[in-house]
Structure 1
């Protein structure tokens, strides 16, 4: 080979080596970027159509452990430091927190969605170890659809301020009488940095109504009030989750978690398995504007609560395939007790 040919051979060889090295570096950069985007808690794809998919077991475990650690569940007891020096108030509250008194294997969380009218889940719902319902949701006349048992009932602060007043205060009515009743606490009852009660945002007097109720019916079934900041912690966890999506509406951050979200998180702490009914909406009643299965007048607005983010959150946490949820409206979740979080 002459000198000119040798020079061209060396030039081409060096060029090929440089290109190969460059491609290797580019490929490595792509791999690192992909790995960076696949951090725990972010390993799902938001489709922009109200559905998330691609959640792995590791992602579910990561989000569940965050929920377990960042949003612990308890209820207010008489040992709350803010009650010291106020025995008349303190003694109205239970000695123990709810999570120390009950634990279930299988739980049903039954939404009040209008879509429940299109299912006949009554027998399956009643077969669970515990059934949670919300607010004034009735079973009478709807047992085929929603079942007849109610073991726990979570109520928002509007009750009994404007809704369910008769059912709430009349001891002859079964609702609220033979159930574990828990009051939702978003920002209604807080404790300030000086360990004093802060009720400035309790617009519907839920704390006052709780005390009145306990004094009027001291021998009724257990009644509890979710701990201070429970709902606020749920909101922060939903915000963290929302920040991991590519198409999350930040306007949701301005809204409070729904009573349903308070209930599902509560039951994830109290149960080994949680079956939700129409919390992730099925396709059976997609075009309706109605809110409740027991009310053909009230329209659903979604104005006050972060329903969209909540539903995306449940879609990632459920172990049920989303195509099955789409058909049935039933989503199954592993309780937080099943996760060994370090």
Structure 2
């Protein structure tokens, strides 16, 4: 009996030890599984460039990057919460990488008309909905294709940034014109033809007359091209294979420091005109005086003056000093056409956008993209614009030649980009298939627009 009890105790003890070992192994396995899951989840987020789109902290809600200027390249091993600062036109801007937060999985829903719906769900993002963890940018893109968008469709972050700019009103904009919202395509084209005739500095106004600008300016810009291509710098143009089609045009417009070398298959190789914001001329990193990007083509520069067009104040305090590089370049290369857009032309374009928009748009100058499109409507009989309105390749990669990700580059924060793009779509004769597949907009030049007197 004693022997049997002893054996039973040994068996029970062995079973107890086995259970403890099994429990310990189970805990170790669960810990390893958790570590592996966390590693691969973070790795997937880091590898997906479309996730880089949000603000870093509450203190930075009022600053947001926008669709102009050039960014420094983001470090490939940057960690969450780290941001890179860059200097661009009009303000100090910041490019943020996303924080690790439950906000990732909040999406704003939209109905078929593209209008916001109050109710929202917490759902995991699908592969085609990872562009912006605060809203679905594809709803905005589809709205642009249809010609029906509103700022209410944008993420809360972008809406806040837009409202901040409206409140700040840096350029003291005071719009006194009328608003007519339901203009037909023909009415819009005729308004543009009447009010958006190109104007450049001619050296006859003060203070430029006393400074001898009249002897520096190039002959007036005039309409002389049959077909023109406007090539946006958006990241969506990558993998488009549009290069051959772009180069088939009589003239090609490019923006700022966007290169063609190395990207010929997608953006072409021809450059006829380059439009630049003043930062390109003033910032040494763009090598305006020496780079081949700015040689043997027509150059057009712009800088925002006060809304009341105070030329004296503008000359003394431009956003970036474009006048000194302009004078130096004109003296060194007097045969190269080089123009500075008159501020009245810039702000007239803003007035036009506001005049057909019910909402108060950002009181800041239009984007280089919109300015360039209207410039070419002055110079060409027919204009094709590529990836200004995003195609099915839409991405939050700001520029095809830089590693910077921000949905504001597509939909606007500082510039009234959303409203500009809606106006361009309303004037376009392109099919939705062209918009979807090529990001292509077709516009008539002013010389081809017939209007009743």
TM-score normalised to structure 1 length: 0.74
Deviation, structure 1 residue 132: 0.2
The reply to whether residue 157 of structure 1 matches residue 278 of structure 2 is yes
Shift, 1:190, TM fit: 7.9
- The change in CA–CA distance for 1:164 and 1:71 in structure 2 (over 3 A counts) is farther
> Aligned pair 1:203/2:326, yes or no?
no
User: Aligned to 1:160, what secondary structure does the other structure show?
Assistant: helix
Distance 1:298 1:188, change over 3 A: farther
Question: How far off is 1:300 after superposition?
Answer: 4.8
Match in the other structure for 1:24: none
Q: Select which of 358, 363, 369 maps to 1:254.
A: 363
Report the number of matched residues.
278
Cα distance in 2 for residues equivalent to 1:230 and 1:337:
18
Q: How far is 1:75 from its partner?
A: 1.8
Using the TM superposition, name which of 175-184 and 201-210 deviates more: 201-210
Distance 1:135 1:54 in 2: 28
CA distance 1:163–1:265, shift in 2 (3 Å): farther
Q: Is the 8 A contact 2:391 2:435 kept in 1?
A: yes
* Matching of residues 1-342 of structure 1 within 5 Å: 47-48=114-115, 49-50=139-140, 51=143, 53=146, 59-80=184-205, 82-87=207-212, 89-94=213-218, 96-99=219-222, 102-162=223-283, 164-166=285-287, 168-170=288-290, 173-187=291-305, 192=310, 198-215=314-331, 217-243=332-358, 248=359, 250=360, 252-285=361-394, 288-297=395-404, 299-301=406-408, 302-341=412-451, 342=453
Residues 200 and 326 (structure 1), Cα distance of their counterparts in 2 relative to 1, 3 Å cut:
farther
SS at match of 1:105: strand
How much does 1:339 deviate?
1.4
Runs of 4+ in 1 over 6 A off after TM superposition: none
Change (3 A) 1:160 1:85: closer
Q: CA deviation at 1:80?
A: 4.0
Tell me by how many angstroms 1:118 deviates: 2.2
Q: Are the equivalent residues in 2 in contact too, given 1:189–1:207 (CA < 8 A)?
A: no
Q: SS where residue 331 of structure 1 aligns?
A: strand
Q: Distance in 2 between matches of 1:306 and 1:54?
A: 16
Output one character per residue of 1:175-215: Cα deviation in whole Å (capped at 9) or x when no partner: 111110001243279854xx857425512112232122222
Cα distance in 1 for partners of 2:337, 2:285 equals: 19
Structure 2 contact 350–366 (Cα < 8 Å) conserved: yes
- Greater mean alpha carbon deviation, residues 183-192 or residues 330-339: 183-192
Q: What's the Cα RMSD here?
A: 2.6
SS in 1 for 2:238: helix
Is the Cα contact below 8 Å between 2:381 and 2:448 reproduced in 1? yes
- 1:6 matched residue in structure 2: none
Gaps of 5+ in 1: 1-45
Whole-angstrom CA distance in 1 between matches of 2:364 and 2:318: 16
Greater Cα shift, 304-313 or 288-297: 288-297
Q: Which has the larger radius of gyration?
A: 2
Give the match for residue 31 of structure 1.
none
Which position in structure 1 is the counterpart of 2:127? none
1:270 positional shift: 0.7
CA, structure 1 residues 255+321, in 2 after alignment: closer, same or farther (shift >3 Å)?
same
